[in-house]
Amino acid sequence: MATIQDVARSAGVSTATVSRVLSAPGRVAEATRARVLAAVDSLGYSPNVAAKMLRTLRTQKILVTVPDISNPFFSQVIRGVEEAASAAGYSVLLGDTRHEPEREDQYAAMLRRKEADGLIFLGHRLSDTLAEMAAALGPGAPIVNGCEYSPALAVSSAHIDNQQAAAEAMAHLYGLGHRRVGVVTGPLASPLSRDRLAGVRAAAQIAGVQAAGAVEGLAVATGDFSVEAGAALARDMLSAATPPTALFCFSDEMAMGALAALRGLGLACPRDVSLVGFDDIRFAAYLDPPLTTVSQPMAEIGHETVRLLLEILSGQAAAPRNVTLPHRLVVRASTAAPVAGTSAGG
């Protein structure tokens, strides 16, 4: 491994000059620069990152933590992060927290030890020590939230308008004539779930006013975004005395579970039960029936979080920015008007 010393010797200059050629090419004379560059690639030199890091306190690394990397929604966002990061000359340190606070703390410590220049966390949980750090450093804290937006944490974030998106999904169901809708949320500790639930309630209210008394109610169950939870909760809801005619799941994964559950109960989708998911993961269009869902721009969320982080790292961030990216309700075949007999109209 050639060092900067070797290059300097081979080009007949000092290490300072070599360093300048590589980082501030303008400050060194044309001829010298050429000589140095020749030496650089004849020796195949590339700077030692550890030395550079020690000196500059910059790692060129972004730490990305995610509650569950095997969740396709997150893995698509991460793909976007990786893409944008590597385009900007950063590498990605991956942390799968598995929803465990100790692991969150462990990764938080990495950031505090400056093993990465910044942190992008997907999901809503930020370790306490980092929350303090964010509060202390203000907009300069190199921490960005992806997918979620927690007003309590004063950090930049990239996400969709979850409330609005959920309201649209519900409006779609009400528009089709559904009156009893079951909702399978994510953990309510997450603002994202609460926002969506708020959207759901707002839509229900509007629908109730428009068709006075026609909305019979909302069954709400709290899931954890997994197929298994979707299946279990959908089964419960659909086994109730007056089951909903439509189900809205806060993730496509849960919708997949719900689909399996309703089949298990001998019900058909959308004939007996309409189903709406959330995320539009790659498989949503390939389910049977193809899933109506809220499409999130996953790659774009990833890109945007990186952009926000780089903005902070370059010192240009005056205040946290919360970027709302566009979502889209994708109507496929899993939603339809309820069969007349089923809808016990008020």
Positions in the binding site for a copy of itself (CB under 8 A): 1, 46, 48-51, 53-54, 59, 61, 64, 68-72, 75-76, 78-79, 82-83, 86, 91-96, 98, 103, 106, 109-110, 113-115, 227, 231, 253, 256-257, 259-260, 263, 282-283, 285-288, 290
Q: Which of 53, 333 has the CB closer to DNA?
A: 53
Q: Which of 94, 176 has the CB closer to a copy of itself?
A: 94
Q: Which of 5, 242 has the CB closer to DNA?
A: 5
> Can you tell me the distance from the alpha carbon of 177 to that of 36, in angstroms, rounded to the nearest whole number?
74
Backbone phi, then psi, for 305, in 5-degree steps?
A: -60, -40
Backbone phi, then psi, for 326, in 5-degree steps?
A: -75, 140
Least Å distance, CB 113 to DNA, is 9
> Can you tell me the distance from the alpha carbon of 37 to that of 12, in angstroms, rounded to the nearest whole number?
12
- Whether the Cβ atoms of residue 180 and residue 345 lie closer than 8 Å to each other: no
Residue 47 interacting with DNA (CB under 7 A): yes
83 interacts with, out of DNA, a copy of itself, none, CB within 5 to 8 A per kind:
a copy of itself
14 interacts with, out of a copy of itself, DNA, none, CB within 5 to 8 A per kind:
DNA
Q: Which of 163, 274 has the CB closer to a copy of itself?
A: 274
Q: Which of 231, 310 has the CB closer to a copy of itself?
A: 231
82 DSSP assignment: H
Residue 52 interacting with DNA (CB under 7 A): yes
Q: Which of 155, 231 has the CB closer to a copy of itself?
A: 231
> Can you tell me the distance from the alpha carbon of 112 to that of 231, in angstroms, rounded to the nearest whole number?
40
- Count the neighbouring beta carbons within 10 Å of the beta carbon of residue 169: 30
Per-residue burial over 142-158, b if 16 or more Cβ lie within 10 Å, else e, is bbbbbbbbbeebbbbbb
Residue 5 interacting with DNA (CB under 7 A): yes
> Which of 44, 54, 286, 341 forms a contact with DNA (CB under 7 A)?
54
Q: Which of 14, 86 has the CB closer to DNA?
A: 14
Least Å distance, CB 141 to a copy of itself, is 16
Residue 17 interacting with DNA (CB under 7 A): yes
Nearest 5 degrees, angle CA 45-CA 51-CA 52?
A: 80
Residue 209 interacting with DNA (CB under 7 A): no
Residue 60 interacting with DNA (CB under 7 A): no
The stretches of 265-324 forming alpha helices (DSSP H) are 298-313
Q: Which of 22, 284 has the CB closer to DNA?
A: 22
> Which of 34, 41, 56, 102 forms a contact with DNA (CB under 7 A)?
56
Length of the chain: 346
286 interacts with, out of a copy of itself, DNA, none, CB within 5 to 8 A per kind:
a copy of itself
Closest to 276 measured CA to CA, from 344, 192, 187, 174 = 174
Least Å distance, CB 257 to a copy of itself, is 6
> Can you tell me the distance from the alpha carbon of 43 to that of 38, in angstroms, rounded to the nearest whole number?
9
Backbone phi, then psi, for 69, in 5-degree steps?
A: -65, -20
- Count the neighbouring beta carbons within 10 Å of the beta carbon of residue 67: 22
Strands ordered across the beta sheet of 292-295: 217-222, 180-185, 246-249, 274-279, 292-295, 328-330
- Whether the Cβ atoms of residue 179 and residue 219 lie closer than 8 Å to each other: no
Residue 19 interacting with DNA (CB under 7 A): yes
Residue 89 interacting with DNA (CB under 7 A): no
> Can you tell me the distance from the alpha carbon of 146 to that of 330, in angstroms, rounded to the nearest whole number?
22
291 interacts with, out of a copy of itself, DNA, none, CB within 5 to 8 A per kind:
none
Chain positions contacting DNA, by CB under 7 A: 1, 3-5, 12-17, 19-20, 22-23, 27-29, 31-33, 45-48, 51-52, 54-56
